[in-house]
């Protein structure tokens, strides 16, 4: 089953390089038997969530203090390290939260050498993370983990890593069930971002079967101080870091977008702004 440019555009709507990505996908998916609507929808929707519509091939760790306490609560907060000392310092964050000495045995990534946390931060469509994963992936392609890190930032390498992960974890049978929650748990280890993954899957499966899904609705009013998946969706539409924290930067971006689109620039995402933004 081949994907058309129109179908892929529905699945990764904010991407401006759909044609080249479509070509890469059509060259590679069949090799891994990702060749049915459910398998393709499962693969692309999960990758699109992880990579902001195939636009972020490298993990963005530019977290605010508030986001660090929320996302990495086991590492920051009362009795732990002070998030303020790490905020907006991606390299320092990676070299703390991704180093094995600060992780549980079950969560070890193989990052034991100085700088490994940053060196092997999330890259590729699946956000491959950690020296162990990089090494296993690199061995499949006859290269070093360090060489793989550079390749992962290209379209070919980013896609190859996601396909390698999918195949290694035998995800085709899971995708065949159409159970997005089960697929997410196998990929993510939990259900982080499940609502967005489910919405993306619905759009993908309907695009592939000839019917584009109606856009998912956010019914709440989102404004400064809001947090969660709704904020992340808005941030994605605005090309911002998706930390789920509606802070001053997000508010300014919303106001600028409202002004440019003939709306009241109050920085509040209510029904009118939402309707225009997601159209």
- 213 pLDDT exceeds 60? no
Tell me how far apart the alpha carbons of residues 102 and 117 are, in angstroms, rounded to a whole number.
11
Tell me how far apart the alpha carbons of residues 274 and 246 are, in angstroms, rounded to a whole number.
15
- 211 pLDDT exceeds 70? no
How many whole angstroms from its chain centre is CA 224? 23
Tell me how far apart the alpha carbons of residues 109 and 9 are, in angstroms, rounded to a whole number.
34
Per-residue pLDDT at 157: 96
Q: How confident is the model at residue 274 (pLDDT cuts 50, 70, 90)?
A: confident
Q: How confident is the model at residue 172 (pLDDT cuts 50, 70, 90)?
A: very high
Of 3-17, 38-52, 182-196, give the lowest mean pLDDT range: 182-196
Half-sphere exposure of 85 (CA within 13 A, CB side): 7
Residues of the chain with pLDDT > 90: what percent?
A: 69
DSSP conformational letter for 31: G
Contact between 212 and 203 under an 8 Å Cβ cutoff? The reply is: yes
Token duo for residue 76: 């920051």
Residue with more model confidence, 275 or 233:
233
């Amino acid at each position: 089953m081949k994907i058309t440019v129109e179908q892929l555009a529905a699945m990764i709507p904010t991407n401006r390089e759909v044609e080249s990505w479509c070509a890469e996908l059509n060259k590679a998916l069949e090799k891994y038997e990702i060749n049915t609507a459910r398998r393709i929808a499962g693969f692309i929707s999960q990758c699109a969530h992880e990579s902001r519509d195939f636009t972020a091939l490298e993990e963005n760790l530019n977290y605010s203090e508030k986001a660090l306490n929320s996302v990495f609560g086991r590492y920051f907060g009362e009795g732990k390290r002070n998030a303020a000392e790490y905020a907006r310092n991606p390299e320092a964050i990676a070299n703390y939260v991704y180093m094995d000495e600060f992780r549980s045995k079950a969560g070890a990534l193989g990052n034991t050498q100085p700088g490994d946390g940053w060196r092997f931060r999330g890259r590729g469509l699946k956000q491959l993370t950690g020296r162990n994963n990089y090494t296993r992936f690199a061995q499949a392609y006859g290269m070093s983990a360090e060489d793989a890190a550079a390749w992962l930032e290209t379209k070919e390498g980013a896609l190859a890593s996601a396909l390698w992960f999918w195949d290694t974890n035998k995800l085709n049978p899971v995708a065949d069930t159409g159970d997005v929650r089960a697929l997410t748990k196998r990929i993510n280890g939990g259900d982080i971002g499940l609502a967005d993954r489910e919405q993306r899957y619905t759009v993908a499966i309907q695009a592939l079967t000839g019917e584009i899904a109606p856009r998912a609705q956010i019914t709440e009013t989102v404004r400064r101080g809001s947090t969660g998946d709704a904020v992340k969706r808005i941030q994605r539409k605005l090309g911002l870091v998706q930390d789920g924290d509606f802070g001053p930067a997000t508010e300014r971006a919303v106001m600028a977008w409202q002004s440019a689109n003939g709306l009241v620039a109050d920085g509040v995402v209510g029904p009118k702004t939402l309707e225009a933004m997601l159209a």
